[in-house]
Structure 1
Amino acid sequence: MTHHKPRSVIKRVYVPTQVQDLPNGERLTVPGHYVPDHPRVPSADDADS
């Protein structure tokens, strides 16, 4: 049996820059940033019931 190297795992996710139009006519710019990888939240499809 051969042993394979583990594949790379995504450690963080990049959130792109967002621009929001505020009610008073100004524009709010949220710069892009990285967020750490969160533990997976089980969905309804993953339930064992």
Structure 2
Amino acid sequence: MTQRKPKSVIKRVYVPAQVQDLPNGERRRIPGHYVPGHSRLSDSGHDTDR
């Protein structure tokens, strides 16, 4: 049986907004953003060069 290639590959992942509590009591909001790559694809341990 032949292996099929995936129809789509996740190229970026959205990281939702976060709120950090600073030591002086203030709160800092970090807006949501996209990051390249996907940890499951790169850390899966499978050899994709075949």
Tell me the TM-score normalized by structure 2: 0.63
Aligned to 1:21: 21
Bigger Rg, which one: 1
> How far is 1:31 from its partner?
0.3
- Cα pair distance change 1:5/1:40, threshold 3 Å: closer
- 4+ runs deviating over 4 angstroms: none
Unaligned 5+ segments in structure 1 are none
The percent of aligned pairs where both chains have the same amino acid is: 70
User: Partners in 2 of 1:22 and 1:37 — Cα distance?
Assistant: 30
The code of the aligned residue for 1:21 comes to D
> How far is 1:8 from its partner?
1.1
> How far is 1:41 from its partner?
3.2
Listed as ranges, the matches of 1:30-49 within 5 Å are 30-37=30-37, 40-41=42-43, 46=45
Equivalent residue pairs, number? 42
